[in-house]
Amino acid sequence: MPDTLQSDLASDAVASDALARAEFDRLSVRGRAFLGTRYAILGGAMSWLSERHLVSSISNAGGFGVIACGSMPPAALAAEIAATQALTDRPFGVNLITMHPDLLDLIRVCREAKVGHVVLAGGLPRGEAVRAVKEAGMRLICFAPALVLAKRLIRGGADALIIEGSEAGGHIGPVSLGVLAQEILPYIDEVPVFVAGGIGRGEALLAFLEMGAAGAQVGTRFAAASESIAHPRFKQAFIGARARDALPSVQLDPRFPVIPVRGLANHGTERFMAHQADVIAQVMSGAITREQGQLSIEHFWAGALRRAVIDGDVENGSLMAGQSVGMVSAEQPVADIIGELVDQACDVLSRRGTGRTTRLV
């Protein structure tokens, strides 16, 4: 091939890539502006995982890290925020559970630490909590499981929404992201809407951006990142898993509700099924009350997530994972994961520009 032709092709490739990245930035401009970040990619708030190291790494790589407060008391959250701020000067948020008994104190901690964004998760936020976030000048992000609730949350003061499909890890709703996106994205333009659940490649991220999403929340891929404090056995379980291995918890009897949680099946999953059957039999025989049986079922997994994430007990602990776990093929630095997602999306846009056929892989 003549040198001039090679040079022209190389120049065309550079120009095509530049145009693709400009288009990707255009599609995500609303999300980037809202978050104050280079990329409109949020880290999912994962208990025991979304702490100072992972959160700061996501933010330093151009994404938006989110601390998972979980059951932390106010003093512990204050310390975690301060430790994160010592590791990054870029924006990050805090995820608070609406049922936390000290919710208003936790919001106060965020305000005093000058956190810019608060995510209220785990149910519809109470009015007093919304007011506390808004009066502090922080931006409020809420989860919307349906269109009618999305509109209600916006009227109530939400500055942005996350719609999370059942493909996600941890506590899940009943509807897939593909359906939620079609139900909600065409009808909500008052605030940015971020998608979550099953996002493991850049092609999917691009598809939702083109549907009108402002950006995406990614959790499972970051769980096995180099900067994640998860035990090596926990990460290896993710690397070796397939999408079909991430299953929702099973409820044996509707009289004894089980909150659906998606995770990797293991020996603990089998024991939980046997535990449910045993508890139900005890209630039916009159050995224990129905209330005692329900509590026993609900407490089965107490401490199980920590046992898996921190202690590495991947046989009996809770391996919360989304179906995108099948796309976790190695332990990677956070910056590489974000770069890979962006490159995959831009590659689609670049190939379109050259007229080549593209497909979702």
Quote the domain boundaries for residue 160.
13-231+325-353
- What's the confidence (pLDDT) of residue 356? 41
Same domain assignment for residues 341 and 296: no
Domain count, the chain: 2
The Cα–Cα gap between 249 and 247 comes to 7
- What's the confidence (pLDDT) of residue 233? 98
CATH number, domain with residue 66: 3.20.20.70
Question: Does position 6 have pLDDT exceeding 70, yes or no?
Answer: no
41-43 β-sheet, strand order: 41-43, 215-218, 193-196, 160-164, 139-143, 117-121, 92-97, 65-68
Same domain assignment for residues 331 and 318: no
Contacts of 286 (CB under 8 A, 6+ apart): none
246-248 β-sheet, strand order: 170-171, 261-264, 246-248
Sign of CA dihedral 152, 141, 333, 237: negative
- What's the confidence (pLDDT) of residue 58? 98
- Length of the chain as a residue count: 361
Same domain assignment for residues 99 and 204: yes
277 in a structural domain: yes
312 in a structural domain: yes
221-246 pLDDT, tens per residue? 999 999 999 999 999 999 999 999 99
Same domain assignment for residues 177 and 268: no
Question: Does position 350 have pLDDT exceeding 60, yes or no?
Answer: yes
Same domain assignment for residues 251 and 309: yes
Least confident of 6-10, 78-82, 332-336: 6-10
Question: Does position 159 have pLDDT exceeding 50, yes or no?
Answer: yes
Residue 232: exposed, middle, or buried by beta-carbon count in 10 A (0-12, 13-18, 19+)? exposed
302 in a structural domain: yes
2 in a structural domain: no
8 in a structural domain: no
Same domain assignment for residues 190 and 129: yes
Provide the mean pLDDT of the chain: 94
Question: What is the mean pLDDT of the segment spanning 185-207?
Answer: 98
- What's the confidence (pLDDT) of residue 1? 55
